[in-house]
Structure 1
């Protein structure tokens, strides 16, 4: 690979990292805590590329003087930057229903038994999908039974049912795992991938091994919302 090409790739990759870092798009790929590392990596890549370009220019001038003005320019290589700049104009969406539908219906909460604390007080309890699904699978005391809960996620449909879903990540989007809840009652007729807040109650004992620990949720009300800045749970 030519040095010019290497420098172009460094600028491209470093610039892309900085772009998604400062625009907030990095949250579609990794957890929030990794932001400093992304910025550092982007700065280092761009810095190395600039340093290499300066060195090449100096060597080029020296070689031109030695050759009595016969320049061997490779400026055309830099034109490669024009098409790859399109990368900066394309923003892929966060992972969504396609991942939920294609993933194996094995609830990941079975692999992470967390100690469940007391539920907060209030008429409506806002819970993350992770906590809600974990409680329905492991809390045999039924602390959620009869409690009105609010969940936030996107709608997806499969096997004749409607689900509210969310993706959870441990590090980055590559390890995303689906969390989903089957909706019953006043099921919304909104399109797939629409983000919503649903309020209702869990169907007691609805999560079991036969349905891959996917609980059912009786919907009382639904509100359409924008996709959260942080679309993934951790």
Structure 2
């Protein structure tokens, strides 16, 4: 079976890539939507290479069997160990890892001061403003025009918990892929600590801005939201916000 090792590894890896990119939206846990075509092409090429490797293995069957006999006579165990390389590919195919969550968010430190305090573009009109966690955070921390004042906003994210019963609506923000993710989070007020959802639960929160600290300083981070409603929702297909 040694002659088929590389073929199996290529087929498993290619199948895993196609599973998350061509047959589902799981790829959005790791990269932006614009990279989907490249994943599909890569997965397809790996599958083709796997088939080619399998065909070549069959054509060199006799030669490989002679090598196997020689390896066994010398006590070689390399081929058996090499088969362990198929385990990561098989795991990716059958059990794709989840999107980054509270653990990754908890590693992000508070933003430093002096990151460009100033005015922001006007917000769209409407009774309730749908806004991303990152946009809300930027305006709450750096907007000298206080564009959030008096507005009812609605945002969606996953729950993380802090000390003394505090909890946050959190989103990870990516530029290209999950590897460059940074954290935006908003501390939720107006609800009892005992009513806080469990960590990594996805929620949509509606409420109003609560001023905190001096703009552009660590004292303004994380921003506050006085919540009027908290609704549990399903994790979106694309769990990340974009820069």
1:23 aligns to what SS in structure 2? coil
Match in the other structure for 1:162: 167
TM (norm. structure 2) is 0.80
Q: 1:212 to 1:40 in 2, by over 3 A?
A: farther
Q: Provide structure 2 residue ranges, at least 5 long, that are not aligned to the other structure.
A: 69-78
Q: Distance in 2 between matches of 1:101 and 1:211?
A: 18
The alpha-carbon deviation at position 125 of structure 1 amounts to 0.3
2:217 is the alignment partner of 1:209: yes
Matched-pair contact (CA < 8 Å) for 2:158–2:171: yes
Match in the other structure for 1:28: 29
Q: How does 1:35-114 map to 2 (within 5 A)?
A: 35-60=36-61, 72=66, 85-106=90-111, 110=115
Q: 1:39 to 1:114 in 2, by over 3 A?
A: farther
Match in the other structure for 1:177: 182
The alpha-carbon deviation at position 146 of structure 1 amounts to 1.1
1:9 aligns to what SS in structure 2? helix
Q: Distance in 2 between matches of 1:116 and 1:57?
A: 65
Q: Distance in 2 between matches of 1:124 and 1:147?
A: 7
Matched-pair contact (CA < 8 Å) for 2:212–2:220: no
TM (norm. structure 1) is 0.83
Q: Distance in 2 between matches of 1:30 and 1:147?
A: 33
Tell me how large the CA RMSD over aligned residues is. 3.0
Q: How does 1:187-206 map to 2 (within 5 A)?
A: 187=192, 188-206=195-213
Matched-pair contact (CA < 8 Å) for 1:157–1:192: yes
Runs of 4+ in 1 over 3 A off after TM superposition: 71-74, 76-87, 107-111, 113-116, 205-208
Which of 122, 127, 140 in structure 2 is aligned with 1:123?
127
Which of 195, 213, 232 in structure 2 is aligned with 1:224?
232
Match in the other structure for 1:67: none
Q: 1:57 to 1:108 in 2, by over 3 A?
A: farther
Q: Distance in 2 between matches of 1:26 and 1:155?
A: 22
Matched-pair contact (CA < 8 Å) for 1:167–1:176: yes
Q: 1:80 to 1:100 in 2, by over 3 A?
A: closer
Deviation digits for residues 132-159 of structure 1 (CA, Å, limit 9, x no counterpart): 1111222210011110000101111113
The alpha-carbon deviation at position 194 of structure 1 amounts to 1.0
Matched-pair contact (CA < 8 Å) for 1:165–1:178: yes
Match in the other structure for 2:76: none
